[in-house]
């Protein structure tokens, strides 16, 4: 069991809720759990929902996995309470993507020792774009990171983590092959999205992403950006604008009405934990195949 008090980072780097939690942890002498919880399972905190599913699949019955905040909240906008910060700090393993949710990043910064899996470490990731889980190949690499960290924290379960991790990696590569075949006729098509979440996906399957807003879906698009999107819609003869579950569809609808095109929905898997990754990504593939300008 960890016995040394935690040393928080600089106060200027932390939000007020995180500072409150840090003070409570330090003042009460609270330390993290033992490497394996009392019921014999690892306590794991994971976000966003796609990584929650990875942790559950790889961990199996050897882990108890929860999200840092209740399901239904946009992963970008998560604001942790003091209790939720303590949950992140005290977990045996935390699986997260740096630069997705600042409050989660701040809570992870309060931890000591092993157990933090930053999925933005996968090869080819850009620290400015946290949406790595929308590329099945990158999610497969993230799965390997999760399996390795679970095995390090709980060596007794290492064989199980490796076996389940390998099975999930194989499934994700199979999903990638299916999406690649489905979207092959669409290579080079312009994908107009409500926010800039599908960069890795677009790069994987040869699409050109044009986004109404940037990485942060809560930011209001500048008028100049809207004009450029409208111009690109006309230039590329785009026929569908794609919104998602974390942005208001109003701007896309207005643009679509002006351009005389349709709208459709893609899931960024950022909100609900009650979805299956592979099923959702296949639905995304169906929506793209139907809505993009493709050959054949």
Rounded to two decimals, the pTM is: 0.86
Together in a domain, 142 and 35: yes
Together in a domain, 124 and 58: yes
Q: In which band, very low, low, confident or very high, does the pLDDT at 140 lie, cut at 50, 70 and 90?
A: very high
Which of 125, 154, 178 terminates a domain? The answer is 178
What pLDDT does 208 receive?
A: 98
Together in a domain, 158 and 18: yes
Check pLDDT > 60 for residue 50: yes
- Domain CATH code at residue 233: 3.40.50.1980
Together in a domain, 174 and 189: no
What pLDDT does 34 receive?
A: 44
Cα diameter, the chain: 66
- Token pair, residue 266, equals 């893609």
Together in a domain, 85 and 173: yes
Residue 4 lies in a domain: no
Q: According to DSSP H, which parts of 97-157 are helical?
A: 102-108, 136-153
Mean pLDDT of 49-69: 96
Residue 273 lies in a domain: yes
Contact 259, 288 (CB under 8 A): no
Establish whether the linkage from the previous residue to 48 is cis, with ω within 30° of 0.
Answer: yes
What pLDDT does 217 receive?
A: 83
Can you name the residues that pair with 96 across neighbouring β-strands? 118
208-247 confidence digits (pLDDT tens): 999 999 888 878 888 899 999 999 999 999 999 999 987 7
Residue 1 lies in a domain: no
Mean pLDDT of 151-164: 98
Residue 296 lies in a domain: no
Together in a domain, 151 and 242: no
* Number of compact structural domains in the chain: 2
Give the C-alpha separation, 49 to 100, whole Å: 12
Establish whether the linkage from the previous residue to 250 is cis, with ω within 30° of 0.
Answer: no
For residue 77, which of 69, 87, 85 has the smallest C-alpha distance?
A: 69
Together in a domain, 153 and 191: no
Contact 182, 163 (CB under 8 A): no
Together in a domain, 113 and 220: no
Which domain does 215 fall in, by range?
Answer: 185-291
Check pLDDT > 90 for residue 92: yes
What pLDDT does 3 receive?
A: 32
Together in a domain, 270 and 141: no
For residue 168, which of 200, 139, 129 has the smallest C-alpha distance?
A: 139
Percent pLDDT > 90 in the chain is 69
């Amino acid at each position: 069991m960890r016995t040394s008090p935690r040393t928080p980072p600089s106060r200027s780097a932390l939000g007020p809720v995180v500072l409150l939690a840090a003070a409570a942890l330090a003042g009460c002498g609270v330390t993290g759990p033992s490497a394996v919880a009392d019921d014999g399972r690892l306590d794991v905190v994971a976000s966003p929902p796609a990584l929650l599913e990875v942790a559950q699949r790889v961990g199996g019955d050897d882990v108890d996995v929860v999200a840092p905040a209740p399901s239904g909240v946009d992963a970008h906008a998560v604001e942790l309470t003091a209790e939720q910060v303590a949950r992140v700090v005290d977990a045996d393993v935390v699986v997260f993507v740096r630069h997705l949710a600042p409050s989660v990043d701040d809570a992870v910064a309060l931890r000591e020792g092993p157990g933090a899996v930053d999925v933005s470490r996968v090869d080819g990731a850009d620290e400015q774009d946290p949406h790595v889980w929308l590329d099945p190949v990158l999610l497969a690499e993230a799965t390997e990171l999760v399996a390795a960290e679970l095995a390090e924290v709980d060596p007794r379960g290492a064989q199980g983590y490796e076996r389940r991790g390998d099975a999930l990696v194989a499934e994700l590569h199979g999903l990638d092959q299916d999406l690649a075949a489905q979207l092959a006729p669409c290579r080079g098509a312009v994908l107009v999205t409500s926010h800039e979440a599908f960069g890795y996906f677009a790069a994987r399957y040869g699409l050109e992403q044009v986004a109404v807003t940037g990485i942060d879906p809560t930011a209001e698009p500048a008028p100049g950006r809207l004009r450029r999107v409208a111009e690109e819609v006309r230039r590329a003869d785009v026929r569908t604008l794609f919104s998602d579950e974390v942005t208001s569809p109003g701007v896309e609808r207005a643009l679509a009405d002006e351009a005389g095109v349709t709208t459709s929905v893609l899931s960024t898997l950022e909100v609900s934990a009650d979805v299956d990754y592979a099923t959702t990504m296949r639905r995304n593939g169906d929506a793209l195949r139907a809505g993009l300008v493709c050959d054949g």
